[in-house]
Amino acid sequence: MSQIPGPDAARPDDPEVPAGARPAAADETRATDGAGDDPAAPVRPRRTGTLFAIALLVYAADQLTKVLAVANLEPGVPQPFVGELLQLHLIRNPGAAFSLATGMTWVFTIVAAAVVVVVVRMARRLRSGPWALALGLLLAGATGNLTDRLLRQPGFGRGHVVDFLELPNWPIFNVADSAIVAAAVLIALLGLRGINLDGTREPSRRERGRTGA
């Protein structure tokens, strides 16, 4: 009596199995195992180094210009720099950027320190060049003015920030203030465009409508 072949009688190495059967099955298994991966999407490099390089350059420019302003300008006496468009006018500012809230020095010291901590924490997830620029400027601006508040007179945490740049009909400011404003504008634009820290982009409402999402 002939024996009925069991279910495992047909083996992958039997000659009856087509030549490409095993590799195809293996490929299918690999594709299933990596179902969440998109091989077409390249992994973006981290931009942490870019962020800190930008922050260091702008911070150095801020501190150097403040040292030069204190050494060469007489407080309260404007000096034309670019005609009447930009003047050098040295003051000591106990408040926020552009001489706002001058009676809240300690509050702004704490806020600036918090901004520095938040930016450093965000840097670990950073893979976007524009975000690296924005956060680098923000970190430099916050650190530049924080240095003044910690190290300048009248005392630790209450130091007055050195401001010396004056435009017509505009509060006197410094390089750190300019960096903070530029960072705020960039962050707003990146948010409007839906660009994330990792460089990915959120679809707009119109794009979601096209795809039916």
Catalytic residue positions, numbered: 163, 177
Sign of dihedral through CA atoms 179, 184, 185, 186? Answer: positive
For residues 121 and 116, what is the distance between their CA atoms, to the nearest angstrom?
9
Interior/surface letters 100-109, b for 16+ CB within 10 angstroms, e for the rest: eeeeebeebb
Closest CA relative to residue 74, chosen from 84, 62, 88, 57: 88
| Torsions phi, psi for 149 (to 5 deg) | -65, -30
